[in-house]
Amino acid sequence: MILVSKFHLKTLLQQTSRYGWLSVVIWMAIAAAAQALELRVAIEEGVKQVEVGSSTKALVRDGSGRTLGELPAMKGIPAQVNVSSVLLGRWQADQVWIEPTGGGYVWIGDRWYRGRTRIVPTDKGLIAVNYVDLEQYLYSVLGAEMDGNWPQEALKDQAVAARSYALYKRQTSGNSIFDVGDTTTWQVYKGLATETQGTQMAVKATEKQVMTYNGKIILAVFHSSSGGHTENVEEVWSSPLPYLRGVEDYDQGLPEYQWVKTFSANELSQRLGISNIRTLTPGRTSTYGRIITMQVVGDGGSRSISGSQLRQQLGLRSTWFTVTSTPTGFQFNGRGYGHGLGLSQWGAYSLARKGVNYQQILRHYYQNITLAKI
């Protein structure tokens, strides 16, 4: 049911006389969707039990919207799987909604979140989903992905990128239960814990702004630091995208620009599963020097390992590195932190401190994009 305010009722009557009822129905649907976009964020997935609660009295409903009862304020209660239903205290239903009254917050697992909670049973366990306004979701994401006290222009960059990324994933990777997750696989979301005055200001200043290419929201990936130059997407992943091109970065001298990691010969052999490693020689590298494949030679022969696999198995900050042998093992000298695609957060920080505005920064790291409003 759509509730229409006096202002919208007047507009509705004007639209009716001008365009007819069919157009008005379409207009009403668009207007309702535009008022607020609720994002579905999976907080817990595939668990047997999750503690939930509310900062204020909350209504507990089942999947049909029927009210089951009320949850007292500030009282955590475990939700559990019971065959193909959810058991929450004395209530049992196909799924459970927890809806705070009076603008309260919800507790899921070990954190407070804005919005409301839906708990759904699956074959693999419970999924606890936070239904939250997109803009309020971003208050938290900015503080989790970037320091909330950084310059506003850098935070605005992150706000537009994170908003674009969330909506792109919602369109391409979402499912019937949730749109995005809350980890680095998606983008980090920690509820009220990572909100600051700075993140709220940046989100409000860029409200509803997204990046598009040919009229479609882009895959606005970002990373901590590139190490001097970002990368062409097809040299890191599989498919080329016209807006994710390698560009000069401005992260020189900042915390993640360079790094060093050493391994003993024995430790490296154990991690890579190759006995008595003698040499590591780059096979293929990207245009700007990132390792695509590495040839590893040991007693049992040689093996080609991808740069991303090496990064994961060795816990490296990036795939942009060189390897030198030492008397006791090997030293990895690297640059940057992350995949090196799209926005460099430390680069944005540096540019913002030099007075470059967020629109200019975004157009540098994402080539030929258009800033638009949803």
Q: Does position 18 have pLDDT exceeding 70, yes or no?
A: no
Q: What are phi and psi of 165, to 5 degrees?
A: -65, -45
Structure token digits, residue 330: 């090997």
Distance, CA of 326 to CA of 288 (rounded, Å): 26
Which H or E element spans position 43? strand 38-47
From first CA to last CA, the distance across the chain in angstroms is: 23
pTM for the whole thing? 0.88
Distance, CA of 41 to CA of 29 (rounded, Å): 23
Token match 């997204």: residue?
210
Least confident range of 4-8, 29-33, 265-269: 4-8
Q: Does position 5 have pLDDT exceeding 70, yes or no?
A: no
**C-alpha angle with apex 134: 130 to 138, nearest 5 degrees?**
95
Query: How would you classify the pairing of strands 125-133 and 38-47?
Result: antiparallel
Confidence of residue 20 (pLDDT cuts 50, 70, 90): low
Distance, CA of 60 to CA of 311 (rounded, Å): 45
Helices (H), 218-315: 265-272, 307-314
**Helix, strand, or coil here: 42?**
strand
The DSSP secondary-structure symbol of 191 reads G
Token match 């992943």: residue?
237
Is 42 buried (19+), middle (13-18) or exposed (0-12) by CB count in 10 A? buried
Q: Does position 19 have pLDDT exceeding 60, yes or no?
A: no
Q: Does position 296 have pLDDT exceeding 80, yes or no?
A: yes
Residue 35: per-residue pLDDT: 54
Which H or E element spans position 165? helix 152-172
Least confident range of 23-32, 205-214, 237-246, 250-259: 23-32
> What's the mean pLDDT in 157-186?
96
